[in-house]
């Protein structure tokens, strides 16, 4: 967007003036858009408190991320507003020179011509050699490429993104490790990107931020983010995401290509489960929401024939395909050989090398992001060895272990690999990273294993503060509280301000409130304002209301105004209205006006209208215009129409677009139709077309057809044609068919051919088959292919087989996937199962599938529909006694791999008493990614008294990595009287991080041990922890 500001006048502003001007422009933008604060919250994706605080004149300056999100929501010039924020927060009084971008020559990583980048330099895994007799390194091996459907999709996407006027595009290539993500991206760039493009590969997040600051991502540039989690998941990840969001809003063509593992994509894209919890990836989630994802399958199961053809001329590919497996990319990258090297150590130092690799596996699966220090691996290793192995270690065991762990496998890759320097050439000394394939292998095979104590102790001594906090969290959820406390303490000593608060919560759990308070105050002194809320809650629980209120006020002034709301809600029990208002007013001063609006509603409900209006106006002044609208509703309900109208107008003047529609309806009911129509038009211009439609509907019902049509046409001009269709229905019901058809034709002429079919349905329901058929024909002629299906139904009802067959062929020729499946269903209902199956197959093979608003990928939608159709056909075949055909169709449905219809079919089979087939379908749904299916199946078996069947399903869920299944298995063993087996499984569930399992385990222990377990948790080896030193307070006391 072109800037609309004067740089010279901006430069003359002082900090306070710049902040006032920033808020003035935000408010002007909101009023221009006629958006309420609630609507601002929805559009920007920010929390209610954050939005209110950004507009409040008494609140601290908003963050850059907040300004960026609000500018996007309002269509304002982001750079201009960020300049104002910069002036408001960092510039002393007086003029300042305009900020200069970092010169391109000063950044470590710069764009280069796209054809100068090799596959090796862009991170493509080298492949195994096709010459088994070749024992020396034959260089970087790049096998022949086998294109698959996702490759074509990516190339089409990139080809569209390089057009001259194309906007910037973000594409995420997603798939598990060693499935060919990077090679897919590389080949697509080679195929679809013109030679005159540049490509940038930043070494790390810092380098990327420097490149963005230097405006290095000019149009006709590709940004290459292989393993994008390395840029987005670390300490600078949110800054990277916010900067990329701003660049994606600028000029193209520009392409950002990122590769991500599924688990990293889920982590970075997921909202916190608890709304009040810290949201560490909000900007990253907003960034990834804009991405088009390309899903890379984990195998070549559907493309083996194509791979065999290419393998005839490529030795590497031939060597990979020879064993007959489908995971070709993993084999090419030596993934299975890495696992073999790890799982079956050989030689004098093999077991010690395996210990280093296992420690690295545990570190990465439990949350470490960056490289691992050698000192950490050395200190961790003893815990992964038996007493005999440790005793047999020679003096040079570490040297030998590292040689084994860093050995090249198939001359391609090594388990432990060098980590590049942040900038420049060469490897970073003293650190390594674990091969991607082994990272993923560790996640899948060691998910229910708790590392030994040496691992946690080494992490406390040798890792970064961020990694210590991540591992402390992993220790806490695995009930290793002593190790979690040590890691939090070490992170705090290194300057992490979140660590003391996390530690404090841990101490509360074991009953050390004094230690918790000490740590919370330490967090406050380090700048963590959330600790004020924690301290206030402690005061509240101790009955110290005054102390809690004082701390809540301090927290509110630091950005936690919602906590004052909580305190005010508690005061309502005592009906202390004066105290409640004082708290709500303090919250409003801190930027959260919601409480004032709620108090206004309460006072209005008590008939205190004058007091209610005063409070609602104060809320509106702080951005809560909804408070006036809500009070207007209350007054209208009480019969005070004049006062309600006045409040509606006050809300409109304050910028609440919804109030326009509410006032329009109020005026309509009062008989002031012209004014109502004018207000409804204003509401439509502000984006609320619903009131125009409601007025049109109301006038049609009262017989004012001319007024109704006029309003419906105005709604149609605003983009909503349903009003005209409603009028067509009214005219149809009134017997004026010609007028009904005229109105439906208007909608059809505006590009909505289905409108005629809609009216045809009205006639069909009224019993006018002939009139319905005429309209369905008109709809089909206008391009509504769905109308053909209705025509087939009418012809079949009339027993006109020839015409029905002709229409069948015409509908099938459209290749519309949904229509093909509907035709299949009709054939099936008529008993023509062969024809139905052919149509389903046609839909699967060649059907076109339009995207749905809930699905970015039309293929996901298609798989679901096809799976349902196959399962329905299988049931029909089974009822017809055709068991082999039914089984073939069930297998095909399972292979299609859509979880939801498989689970639905499983439930249906279970209700019909076919438990064997139900279990099969539940397991298939779980294989397709729906682990909830196994939970439902097991619970169902357990309720039915089939404990053996339940245990079998719990085992399947446990094998799939579901921690809850271990606890359920333990409960089954406990019910069977197998106390030892139950205890072993409860401990396994604790090792895997199941949250409440200690309570179940405690029931198997004596009272003293159980209390000790629930308070102090477990040691790394699974024994019950004894009392451990809780805080630095005790250290000082002991001394």
Average pLDDT over residues 583-595: 63
Asked if pLDDT for residue 63 goes beyond 50, the answer is yes
Spell out the residues 6+ positions from residue 556 whose beta carbon is closer than 8 angstroms to its own: 563, 564, 586, 587, 589, 590, 592
What's the DSSP call for residue 522? H
Beta bridge partners of 1024: 1018
SS (H, E, C) 651-720: HHHCCCHHHHHHHHHHHHHCCCHHHHHHHHHHHHHCCCCHHHHHHHHHHHHCCCHHHHHHHHHHHHHCCC
Average pLDDT over residues 773-790: 78
Identify which of 308, 246, 310 has the alpha carbon closest to the alpha carbon of residue 283. Answer: 246
Asked if pLDDT for residue 97 goes beyond 60, the answer is no
How do residues 712-747 score in pLDDT, each as one tens digit? 777 776 666 776 777 777 777 777 878 777 877 777
Q: To which residue do tokens 């902040």 refer? A: 19
Beta bridge partners of 199: 112, 222
Average pLDDT over residues 459-468: 94
How far is it, in rounded angstroms, from Cα 587 to Cα 581?
A: 10
What confidence tier does 64 reach under pLDDT thresholds 50, 70, 90? low
Q: pLDDT value at position 135?
A: 34
What's the DSSP call for residue 430? E
How far is it, in rounded angstroms, from Cα 816 to Cα 804?
A: 18
Spell out the residues 6+ positions from residue 969 whose beta carbon is closer than 8 angstroms to its own: 951, 954, 955, 958, 985
What confidence tier does 646 reach under pLDDT thresholds 50, 70, 90? confident
Spell out the residues 6+ positions from residue 221 whose beta carbon is closer than 8 angstroms to its own: 111, 197, 198, 199, 200, 254, 255
Do 743 and 732 form a contact (C-beta atoms < 8 A)? Answer: no
What confidence tier does 345 reach under pLDDT thresholds 50, 70, 90? very high
What confidence tier does 101 reach under pLDDT thresholds 50, 70, 90? low
Q: pLDDT value at position 65?
A: 59
More confident residue, 975 or 322: 975
How do residues 197-242 score in pLDDT, each as one tens digit? 999 999 888 889 889 888 899 999 999 999 999 899 877 888 899 8
- Report cis status (omega within 30 of 0) of the bond before 253: yes
Q: To which residue do tokens 């991502």 refer? A: 217
How do residues 417-446 score in pLDDT, each as one tens digit? 998 887 778 889 999 999 888 887 898 889
| Mean pLDDT rounded to a whole number for the chain | 80
Q: pLDDT value at position 563?
A: 57
Average pLDDT over residues 922-939: 82
Q: pLDDT value at position 623?
A: 73
How do residues 862-885 score in pLDDT, each as one tens digit? 777 888 888 888 888 888 888 888
Average pLDDT over residues 905-914: 84
Long-range contacts of 302-306 (CB under 8 A, 24+ apart): 302/148, 303/146, 303/148, 306/146, 306/147, 306/148
Do 902 and 924 form a contact (C-beta atoms < 8 A)? Answer: yes
Q: pLDDT value at position 557?
A: 62
Report the DSSP pairing between strands 169-174 and 292-295: parallel
Work out the percent of the chain whose per-residue pLDDT is above 70. 82
Among 16-30, 137-151, 365-379, 894-908, name the most confident range: 365-379
Work out the percent of the chain whose per-residue pLDDT is above 90. 25
């Amino acid at each position: 967007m072109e800037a609309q500001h004067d740089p010279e006048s901006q430069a003359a502003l002082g900090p306070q003036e710049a902040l006032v001007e920033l808020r003035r422009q935000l408010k002007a933008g909101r009023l221009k858009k006629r958006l309420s604060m609630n609507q601002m919250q929805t559009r920007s994706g920010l929390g209610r408190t954050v939005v209110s605080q950004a507009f409040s004149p008494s609140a601290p300056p908003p963050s850059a991320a907040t300004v960026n999100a609000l500018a996007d929501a309002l269509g304002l010039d982001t750079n201009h507003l960020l300049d104002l924020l910069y002036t408001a927060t960092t510039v002393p009084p007086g003029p300042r020179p305009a900020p200069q971008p970092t010169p391109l020559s000063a950044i470590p990583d710069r764009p280069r011509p796209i054809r100068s980048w090799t596959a090796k330099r862009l991170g493509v895994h080298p492949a195994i050699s096709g010459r088994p007799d070749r024992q020396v390194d034959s260089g970087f091996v790049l096998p022949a490429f086998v294109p698959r459907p996702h490759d074509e999709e990516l190339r089409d996407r990139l080809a569209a993104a390089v057009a001259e006027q194309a906007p910037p595009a973000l594409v995420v290539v997603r798939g598990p490790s060693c499935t060919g993500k990077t090679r897919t991206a590389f080949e697509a760039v080679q195929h679809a990107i013109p030679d005159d493009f540049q490509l940038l590969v930043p070494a790390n997040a810092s380098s990327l931020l420097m490149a963005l600051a230097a405006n290095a991502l000019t149009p006709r540039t590709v940004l290459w983010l292989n393993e994008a989690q390395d840029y987005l998941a670390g300490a600078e990840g949110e800054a990277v995401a916010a900067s990329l969001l701003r660049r994606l809003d600028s000029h193209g063509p520009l392409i950002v290509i990122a590769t991500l593992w599924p688990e990293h994509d889920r982590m970075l894209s997921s909202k916190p489960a608890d709304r009040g919890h810290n949201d560490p990836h909000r900007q990253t989630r907003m960034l990834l929401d804009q991405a088009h994802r390309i899903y890379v399958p984990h195998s070549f199961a559907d493309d083996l024939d194509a791979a065999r053809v290419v393998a005839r001329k490529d030795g590497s590919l031939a060597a990979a395909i020879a064993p007959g497996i489908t995971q070709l990319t993993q084999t090419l990258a030596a993934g299975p050989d890495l696992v073999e090297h790890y799982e079956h150590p050989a030689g004098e130092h093999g077991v010690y090398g395996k210990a280093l690799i296992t420690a690295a596996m545990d570190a990465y699966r439990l949350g470490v992001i960056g490289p691992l220090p050698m000192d950490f691996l050395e200190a961790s290793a003893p815990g992964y060895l038996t007493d005999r192995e440790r005793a047999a270690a020679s003096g040079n065991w570490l040297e030998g272990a590292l040689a084994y762990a860093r050995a090249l496998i198939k001359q391609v890759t090594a388990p432990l690999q060098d980590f590049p320097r942040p900038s420049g050439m060469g490897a970073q000394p003293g650190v390594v990273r674990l091969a991607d394939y082994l990272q993923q292998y560790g996640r899948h095979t060691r998910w229910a294993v708790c590392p030994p104590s040496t691992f946690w102790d080494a992490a406390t001594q040798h890792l970064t503060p961020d990694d210590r906090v991540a591992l402390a969290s992993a220790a806490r959820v695995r009930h290793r509280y002593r190790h979690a406390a040590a890691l939090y303490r070490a992170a705090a000593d290194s300057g992490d301000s979140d660590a003391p608060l996390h530690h404090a919560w841990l101490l509360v759990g074991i009953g050390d409130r004094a230690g918790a308070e000490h740590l919370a105050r330490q967090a406050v002194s380090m700048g963590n304002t959330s600790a004020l809320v924690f301290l206030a809650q402690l005061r509240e629980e101790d009955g110290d209301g005054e102390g809690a209120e004082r701390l809540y006020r301090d927290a509110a002034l630091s950005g936690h105004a919602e906590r004052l709301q909580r305190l005010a809600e508690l005061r309502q029990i005592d009906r202390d209205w004066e105290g409640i208002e004082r708290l709500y007013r303090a919250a409003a001063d801190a930027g959260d006006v919601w409480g004032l609006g709620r108090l206004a509603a309460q006072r209005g409900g008590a008939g205190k209208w004058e007091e209610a209006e005063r409070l609602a106006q104060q809320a509106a002044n702080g951005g809560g215009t909804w408070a006036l609208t809500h009070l207007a509703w209350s007054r209208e309900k009480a019969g005070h129409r004049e006062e309600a109208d006045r409040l509606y107008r006050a809300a409109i003047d304050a910028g609440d677009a919804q109030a326009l529609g509410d006032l329009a309806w109020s005026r309509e009911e009062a008989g002031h139709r012209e004014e109502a129509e004018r207000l409804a038009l204003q509401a439509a211009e502000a984006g609320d077309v619903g009131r125009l439609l409601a007025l049109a509907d109301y006038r049609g019902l009262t017989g004012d057809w001319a007024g109704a049509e006029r309003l419906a046409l105005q709604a149609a001009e605003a983009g909503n044609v349903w009003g005209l269709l409603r009028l067509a229905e009214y005219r149809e019901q009134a017997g004026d068919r010609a007028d009904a058809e005229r109105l439906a034709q208007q909608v059809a002429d505006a590009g909505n051919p289905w409108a005629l079919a809609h009216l045809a349905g009205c006639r069909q329901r009224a019993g006018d088959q002939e009139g319905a058929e005429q309209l369905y024909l008109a709809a089909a002629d206008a391009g509504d292919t769905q109308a053909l299906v209705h025509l087939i139904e009418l012809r079949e009802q009339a027993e006109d087989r020839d015409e029905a067959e002709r229409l069948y062929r015409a509908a099938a020729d459209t290749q519309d996937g949904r229509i093909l499946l509907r035709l299949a269903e009709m054939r099936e209902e008529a008993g023509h199962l062969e024809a139905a199956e052919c149509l389903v197959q046609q839909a699967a093979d060649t059907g076109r599938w339009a995207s749905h608003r809930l699905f970015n990928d039309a293929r996901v939608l298609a798989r679901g529909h096809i799976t349902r159709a196959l399962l329905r056909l299988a049931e029909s075949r089974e009822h017809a006694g055709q068991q082999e055909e039914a089984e073939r169709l069930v297998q095909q449905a399972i292979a299609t791999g859509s979880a939801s219809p498989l689970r639905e079919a499983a439930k249906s089979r279970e209700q019909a008493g076919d438990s064997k087939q139900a279990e099969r379908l539940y397991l298939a749904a779980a294989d397709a990614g729906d682990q909830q299916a196994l939970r439902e199946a097991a619970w169902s078996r357990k309720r039915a008294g089939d404990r053996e069947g339940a245990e079998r399903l719990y085992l399947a869920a446990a094998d799939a990595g579901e921690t809850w299944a271990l606890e359920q298995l333990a409960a089954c063993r406990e019910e069977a009287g197998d106390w030892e087996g139950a205890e072993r499984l409860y401990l396994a569930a604790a090792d895997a991080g199941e949250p409440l399992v200690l309570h179940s385990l405690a029931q198997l222990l004596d009272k003293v041990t159980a209390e000790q377990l629930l308070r102090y948790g477990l040691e790394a080896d699974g024994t019950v922890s004894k009392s451990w030193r809780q805080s630095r307070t005790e250290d000082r006391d002991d001394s």
